[in-house]
Amino acid sequence: MQDVLYYVFCAMLVGGALGVIIIRDFVNSAMSMLLSMLGAAGLMLLMHAYFAAFIMVSVYGGAVMVLFVFVVMLIGDKLEQRHWGKRLALFVVWALLCALSGVFVPSLLDGAPRPMPSAGVLANINAYGACLLTKFILPLQVVGVLLLAAVVGVVAIAKPEARGKHKSDML
Amino acid sequence: MQSYHIFSDCALINGAIYFGLSVLCVFIIMAFAGLSVVAERKVCAYIQGRWGPNRTAIAVVEDIPFVGNFLKKNGLMQLAADGLKFLLKEDPLPKHVKKIWYMLAPVMALAPVLIVAGVIPFGVYWQDGRAYPVSIANIDISLLVALAVGGLGVYGAIMAGWSSNSKYPYLGAMRAAAQVISYELAMGLSVLPVILMASYNGVSALSIFEIAKMQSGDVWLCMLQPLSALIFLVALFAETNRLPFDMAESETDFVSGYHTEYGSFKFGLFFVGEYGHVVVGSALFIALFLGGWDPLPGCDWPSSWGIVSTLLSVATFLVKVAFMVVFFIWIRWTVPRFRNDQVMTLGWKCLVPLAALNFVAYLIYTSIA
């Protein structure tokens, strides 16, 4: 049963992730991302990391919805334009990705079966919170700054569309 | 963490029992959803000074003395007629829709509700001096599960609106997304003081059952945290897309909102999904703020009565859910629909800051006291 679930969740995760980059329709691409997130959450459940799994669903489930709205509002259902430069860039990215995974996880290449990693059972939420705000305070701050940068970036990207137009022209 | 009750040593029998219990849970939620449809029609009729459905009758059943008349007068056979109508009508599949998402959307509207129902503690039972919830899964982060999975329900509306490939459903879906993003935040913030309170009491703070048990034989949390309860309730109305917050459906502006292009059983699934959401949301509110399975504040079913107490606790919980559903309906037929900008203003400028203030105030209070 666990094995079947494992393969189902893996298929969701990998299929969704591939869908994000392969499907040319933006909305389907965003929905593949949701599928991928749910697959990842399912894998975490199998590893007994219940808290992380449902935080994943809660945070990323909501995030994909925001993404969806952004995609629909900013792009609509236009298909991405084909361009040879983009194809070249994509090729380079794929090559780099393969090289990176080969360098960082060389054990992937031999294809030998491995036991499922266990994600350590969390004692309680209090311990988790204390851990997050003492031991991992620096990563937490860095992530906060990164997110802030992302927010500013989104505003910068979304803004020029509206700039210069009279206020009454906008919805 | 023991997340489930072991009925038998054989894994297969255990699994079969759990499968049966899950089916039973789905049946209870579905029965409640069906009955709330009848209740909606009856309550709105009484509020508007009408009788509501009281003529529909099945020929043979009608002739049973007392029972037949009771079913007819209370519109319960109307329910069967409505259900069969959804089932038997032609199932249209418009040419212009995106088929996969179009077919998936009604499922996505109903499935999360039924998943959340699995973590709701419908009552309490005792074994070896310890209390356990009457629920399918007794997991210690059930509140998080309920909020996370419950939030996925809106994908039904979004997928439906997007895949219908038509203007009104699309606008409805956009509104649904905006509304859920804003009110989920307020909802999450409003339960933080409750979680904090539970964690001070040394119980597993993210478990709905533990929070409900904390109120057992004590004051209810809606008295200790009235602002939290109010914000949670308002956000619940918004999450379930009920009037006065049914921006996504809003038939005065959008024909029928995100499910305009749907008919027959697919529409029926959306319909059941909405009422199922109301039932499960009510159950969640009761467990968090209205004392769970306790009949009155400060009084609980004694554990010494054993199985009798368990049955009474389940009955109390279900009666409370019924009252909550009637309350939902009552609000719907009393308060007019908001405008979309009013919904956004209420969410972002009123509920979110209030919930945050409430949380900070509780933090300050607990650090002083």
The whole-number pLDDT of residue A9 equals 92
CA neighbours within 13 Å on the CB side: how many for A114? Answer: 9
**What integer pLDDT is reported at residue B1 of this predicted model?**
43
Q: What is the pLDDT of residue A101?
A: 79
Asked whether residue B358 carries a pLDDT value surpassing 90, the answer given is yes
Measure CA A122 to chain center. Answer: 24
A2-121 to CATH, choices 1.10.15.40, 2.170.190.11, 3.80.30.20, 1.20.120.1200 = 1.20.120.1200
Distance of CA B118 to the CA centre of its chain: 12
In a domain, B145, yes or no: yes
Residue B230 in this model has a pLDDT that exceeds 90: yes
Would you state the pLDDT for residue B355? 93
Share of chain B above pLDDT 70, in %: 97
Q: Do B205 and A65 make contact, defined as CB atoms within 8 angstroms?
A: no
Look up the ipTM and state it: 0.75
For residue B58, which phi and psi values (nearest 5 degrees)?
A: -90, 130
All residues at 6 or more sequence positions from B269 whose CB lies less than 8 Å from its CB, including other chains: B106, B107, B109, B110
Confidence category of residue A95, pLDDT binned at 50, 70, 90: confident
pLDDT at A91 > cutoff 70: yes
A70 touching B (Cβ < 8 Å): no
Q: Which residue has the higher pLDDT, A120 or B7?
A: B7
pLDDT in the model for residue A163: 53
Q: What pLDDT is attached to residue A130?
A: 81
pLDDT higher than threshold 70 for residue B327: yes
- Sole residue written with tokens 């979309």: B340
* Full DSSP string of B119-176: T----EEEETTEEEESSS---TTHHHHHHHHHHTTHHHHHHHHHHTTSHHHHHHHHHH
Q: What is the DSSP letter of B50?
A: -
Region B234-252: what's the mean pLDDT? 84
Q: Which of A61-75, B77-91, B181-195 has the lowest mean pLDDT?
A: A61-75
Whose tokens are 């056979």? That residue is B77
d(CA A31, CA B173): 15
Q: Residue B83 and residue A145: Cα distance in Å, rounded?
A: 53
CA-closest candidate to residue B146, choices B175, B180, B176, B121: B121
Task: Measure the CA–CA gap between B358 and B352, rounded to whole angstroms.
Answer: 10
Looking at every residue in chain B, the average pLDDT score rounds to 86
Handedness of CA B243, B247, B249, B252 (dihedral sign): positive
pLDDT band at B4 (very low <50, low <70, confident <90, very high): low
Decide if pLDDT at B353 tops 70: yes
**Spans of all domains in chain A:** 2-121, 123-171
A125 contacts B158? CB cut-off 8 A: no
Residue A28's pLDDT is 81
Distance of CA A29 to the CA centre of its chain: 12
User: What range defines the domain where residue B242 resides?
Assistant: 93-368
In whole angstroms, how far apart are CA A151 and each of A145, A154, B74, B179?
A: 10, 5, 55, 20
Residue B60 falls inside a structural domain: no
Average pLDDT value for residue range A27-53: 84
Q: Is residue B187's pLDDT more than 70?
A: yes
> Which of A164, A151, A159, A152 has the alpha carbon at shortest distance from A74?
A159
Most confident of B24-38, B55-69, B124-138: B24-38
Arithmetic mean of pLDDT, A127-154: 87
Query: For chain B, how far is it from start to end, CA to CA, in angstroms?
Result: 32
Task: Check if the beta carbon of residue B194 is closer than 8 Å to that of residue B231.
Answer: no
Q: Do B154 and A124 touch (CB under 8 A)?
A: no
Q: Is residue B35 in some structural domain?
A: no
- How many structural domains compose chain B? 1
The most confident of the ranges A63-72, B8-17, B105-114, B258-267 is B105-114
Residues of B with CB under 8 A from a CB of A: 1, 101, 139-141, 144-145, 147-149, 151-152, 154-155, 158-159, 162, 174, 177-178, 180-181, 184, 199, 204-206
Pull the structure tokens for residue B171: 């606008």
Binning pLDDT at 50, 70 and 90, where does residue A118 land?
low
- Contact call for B154 and A125, based on CB within 8 A: no
Neighbours of B254 (CB within 10 A): 20
Q: Report the C-alpha gap between A99 and A108 in whole angstroms.
A: 12
Q: Choosing among A24, A31, A54, which should be mutated to test the B contact, i.e. which has the most B CBs within 10 A?
A: A54
For residue A53, give both structure tokens. Answer: 């799994």
pLDDT greater than 60 at residue A165: no
pLDDT one-digit tens code per residue, A52-64: 888 888 888 877 7
From chain A, pick out residues whose CB is under 8 angstroms from the CB of B111.
none
Q: Determine the average pLDDT of the residues in B316-329.
A: 92
Q: What is the reported pLDDT for B203? A: 65
Which helix (H) or strand (E) element contains residue A130? helix A125-134
Residue B331 three-state SS: helix
Q: How do residues B132-169 score in pLDDT, each as one tens digit?
A: 888 888 887 888 888 888 888 888 888 888 888 888 88
Secondary structure element (H or E) that encloses residue B197, with its range: helix B167-200
- Which of B4, B108, B155, B258 to mutate: most A Cβ within 10 Å? B155
Residue B359 lies in a domain: yes
Report long-range pairs for B192-200 (Cβ below 8 Å, ≥24 apart).
B192/B355, B192/B359, B193/B225, B193/B228, B193/B358, B193/B359, B193/B362, B194/B221, B194/B225, B194/B228, B194/B288, B194/B289, B195/B143, B196/B359, B196/B362, B196/B363, B196/B366, B197/B221, B197/B224, B197/B225, B197/B362, B199/A125, B199/A126, B200/B366
Rounded to 5 degrees, what are φ and ψ at B81? Answer: -65, -45
**Looking at the partner chain, which of A68, A121, A124 has a beta carbon nearest the beta carbon of B204?**
A124
